[in-house]
Amino acid sequence: MVEAEPIPQHVQEKIERVHTADLVVGVLADLDPSALAALCDALRALPRTPRIAVLRDDHSPDPSPSNSPAANNSSPFLVPWPLLSPDAPDTPMLNMSSAYQSVFAASEKLGARACCVIASNLDAPSPAWVRQLAQPLLAENVDLALPFYARHKFEGLVNSSIIAPLTRCLYGRQIHNPMGPDLGVSQRLYQKMLGADRSARNGGNRLHSIASLAPAALCDNLLVCEVYLGARIYAPTDWVNISSLIAEVLSPVFLDMERNAACWQRMRASLTVPALGDPVLISEDKGTVDIRRMVESFHLGNRDLGEIWGLVLPPSTLVELRKLARLPLEQFHMPDELWIRIVFDFALAHRLRTINRDHLLQSMTPLYMAWVASYAHDLEGAGAAAVDQRLERLSVAYETGKPYLVSRWRWPDRFNP
Amino acid sequence: MWDQIKQELAQSTARFLTRLANLLPGILALILALLGSIVVAWILAAIVRRLLTSMNFDERLGRWGFPSIADWSPLRSPTRLVSRSIAILVIASGFLIGIAAFDSQWPSLFARSVFAYIPNMIGAALVLLFGNIVARFLSRSVLIGAVNLNLHYARFLSIGVKWLVLVLTVAMALDHLRIARSIVELAFGILFGGIVFALALAVGLGSKDLVTKSLERDAQKPGDEHVEEPFRHI
């Protein structure tokens, strides 16, 4: 496969006009001009007035002269750049990943000490949060600044149920949003990512620009911190494509598990990481939720995908799933221990290529729906504190179950009842 | 007259014995070819069996989506099936080579025509193998996709797709083997068309209620607001 160049030829000259920068900010979020201006103002308030280049996602072929770096002689320099390709709507994760790669490449070209990516719109946006994300990278030699969003209990569920607790259990750091998407990266880390990308072109192991950032930083003992941000605005659920999206998100996570097996098998307990700023409190909706659709999805999966699950999951898990399928809706509850074993067994099957990897990850969707239904059932009407406790319980269950993963990973052929 | 009969009998006996004597080297060659091929077959089968056992072929075959092969394998072991098939092929080849050693026209013609047919058989076997893999892959894709779309007839769709591809594959393989081409074409047309028609009818009739309900809902509640779910996954 021919990989796209991180910096397309037609934008090379735009970036060269800026010459150098201390900080590069890639804006992938859809910001209106006033929000962009506020963001630039916030960046100007950074201590020691660093030279900043703002790469703004823009697909207009001929940017207006007022926006061009040549016309704008004061920092931050606005560089219009088509970071996100509109031609690849079916693979949003890959599209995002290549946008991150472009930001890293531009940062290297400008010799930036750090770069930030702004990919989300926040519920109650405050321009200061961009500054909060950039400041530890420039002032405190942090290598990776990750967001700690104020969370609504039913949002970012793939992250809450799999990515965050799995990262915590594997790499031993309690980070809440390992895949950002709003984050700050030091020169050391982005150069590592670019180096891996170049070696991938020569047949090496390719790192995913978003999913591999946190594991790469944690395995290299780089300094990681979290920055409190407001609530992120998530896209509404696309029920038609949800299984493909889940597969697209989980695939690089499982690939990283395979790549970093030597690293995560050494890690034992988890530690907290420094959190900067003030937690943002949001009101929690205490209304009822309808979990019938998700439970129905699980029942269908249990009826029709048993043959595929049988190749991945051990008999005891299959028995548990059958018991779960017999429960009435009001008693529906998937134990965390069962869920984490499912995640671990799917990660192992992904490594062993037990079946086609896309099929494998997509066949996990009904099981994920069962966990979400169970979680929603548990937290219906619960407040923020109960949500935090519930997710902490899940993370602890992941850590407790880690010996099972290590054992299965090392001896996959051993009898597993 | 009696002398003439005796002479004729002696001549026919001599002819028979000459023919028999002419056949003997051929029979000997056939026996040698058979014995040689049995030895080669035994060695090859042992090598293949060891090789497949070392790479856990039986388990892998199950993982690749062919667990049913074990059901019609000797001792439920696909490894034995493959090694025995190879042995039988080698022995059959040895037999044909032995037959070709006869110094007469029809056995060598028979052997030559069988050898000429082997590429067709290999081609048909490859078509069957490839078709089987494609059928299983597509059926699994359809099954997972349909389950994730909450379609209650997911398994039915998946089986339909699998059989469509399998029927197409078998028709292609038979065509490759040049067996009753016109009948195969006709039967395939009828069978394939029938399956598509049956699927169309089944899906059409199955979704009739769904479409009716959907239209009724739209017609009855024009101003009904869309209820947004609170769940955000990614």
- CB of A167 closer than 8 Å to CB of A215: yes
Residues of chain A contacting residue B145, judged by C-beta atoms under 8 Å apart: 243, 362
Residue A281 lies in a domain: no
Hey, are the CB atoms on A304 and B143 less than 8 Å from each other? yes
pLDDT tens digit sequence for A116-157 = 998 887 766 666 788 888 889 988 889 999 999 888 888 889
- The answer to whether the beta carbons of residues A227 and A275 sit under 8 Å apart is yes
> What's the structural domain count of chain A?
2
A262 with A314, same domain?
Answer: no
Q: Is residue A282 part of a domain?
A: no
Question: How many angstroms separate the Cα of B231 from the Cα of each of A249, A326, A369, B25, B222?
Answer: 17, 24, 11, 85, 25
Name chain B contacts of A154, Cβ cutoff 8 Å. Answer: 230-232
Residue A68 has pLDDT above 50, yes or no: no
Is the domain of A181 the same as that of A228? Answer: yes
**Residue A415 falls inside a structural domain:** no
To test the contact with chain A by mutation, choose from B136, B148, B150, B162 the residue with the greatest count of A C-beta atoms within 10 A, namely B148
Which backbone phi and psi does A116 adopt, to 5 degrees? -125, 150
Domain B117-216 has CATH 1.10.287: yes
Query: Which residues does residue A173 pair with via DSSP β-bridges, in sequence order?
Result: A271
Average pLDDT, chain A: 84
Residue B219: the pLDDT is 58
Task: Mark whether A149 and A243 lie in a shared domain.
Answer: yes
pLDDT (0 to 100) of residue B75? 67
Least trusted range by pLDDT, from A15-29, A344-358, B50-64, B209-223: B209-223
Domain shared by A242 and A320, yes or no: no
Instruction: State ipTM.
Output: 0.84
Whether the CB-CB separation of A135 and A46 falls below 8 Å is answered with yes
For A395-411, write each residue's pLDDT tens digit: 999 999 999 999 999 98
Residues of A in contact with B161 (CB under 8 A): none
Q: By the 8 A CB rule, do A173 and A218 touch?
A: yes
> What is the C-alpha to C-alpha distance for residues A95 and A28, in angstroms, rounded to an integer?
11
The single-letter DSSP state of residue B224 is P
Distance set, CA B150 to CA A33, A136, A243, A293, B186 (Å): 42, 46, 12, 8, 37
Give pLDDT, residue A202: 67
Residue with tokens 């059409």: B204
pTM of the model: 0.81
List chain A residues with CB under 8 Å of B160. Answer: none
| Among the listed residues A271, A285, A248, the one whose alpha carbon sits nearest the alpha carbon of residue A174 | A271
d(CA B128, CA B169): 6
Tokens of A260: 């970093």
Q: Tell me if A354 and B63 make a contact (CB, 8 A cut-off).
A: yes
**Structural domain containing residue A131:** 9-276
pLDDT of residue A64: 47
The CATH number linked to A104 is 3.90.550
Domain ranges of chain B: 25-103, 117-216
* Spatial separation of the C-alpha atoms in residues B31 and B40, rounded to whole Å: 14
Phi, psi of A31 (to 5 degrees): -100, 140
Residue A310 lies in a domain: yes
- Cβ–Cβ below 8 Å for A308 and B148: no
**Same domain? A271 vs A357:** no
Mean pLDDT check: name the lowest of A90-94, A174-178, A241-245, A385-389. A90-94
Is A308–B144 a contact, with Cβ atoms under 8 angstroms apart? yes
Q: Which helix H or strand E contains B3, and what residues bound it?
A: helix B2-54
CB spacing of B147 vs A155 below 8 angstroms = no
**Cβ-nearest to A304 among B147, B230, B234:** B147
Q: Any idea what DSSP says for residue B1?
A: -
Residue A148, token pair as written in the block: 């700690």
pLDDT of residue A293: 87
Q: Which of A276, A300, A330 is the last residue of a domain?
A: A276
Contact: A355, B140; criterion CB under 8 Å: yes
d(CA A70, CA A276): 36
Residue A128 exposed, middle or buried by CB count within 10 Å (0-12, 13-18, 19+): middle
Report how far residue A173's alpha carbon sits from residue A264's, in angstroms, rounded to the nearest whole number.
Answer: 11
By Cβ distance, the residue of B143, B148, B230 closest to A243 is B148
Same domain, A256 and A392: no
| CB contact A210 to B (< 8 Å) | no
Quick one: A241 and A108 in the same domain? yes
Residues of chain A neighbouring B63 (CB-CB closer than 8 A): 311, 354-355
- Regarding whether A184 and A320 lie in a shared domain, the answer is no
Residue A32 lies in a domain: yes
Q: Are A23 and A114 in contact (CB under 8 A)?
A: yes
Is residue A22 a part of any domain in this protein?
yes
**CB nearest to A300's CB, from B63, B150, B230:** B150
Q: Are residues A343 and A246 in the same domain?
A: no
Listed in sequence order, the residues at least 6 apart from A23 whose beta carbon sits closer than 8 Å to its beta carbon are A43, A46, A50, A51, A52, A53, A112, A113, A114, A115, A116, A134, A137, A138
Residue B223 has pLDDT above 50, yes or no: no
Q: Are residues A73 and A186 in the same domain?
A: yes
Q: SS3 for B133-146, per residue?
A: HHHHHHHHHHHHHH
Q: Are residues A254 and A314 in the same domain?
A: no
Q: Does A322 share its domain with A221?
A: no
Residue A370 lies inside a defined structural domain of this protein: yes
The helix or strand, by DSSP H or E, that contains position B179, with its residue range, turns out to be none
Cβ-nearest to A359 among B141, B150, B152: B141
Residue A152 inside a domain? The answer is yes
pLDDT of A169-210, one tens digit each?
999 999 999 998 889 999 999 999 888 877 776 666 667 778
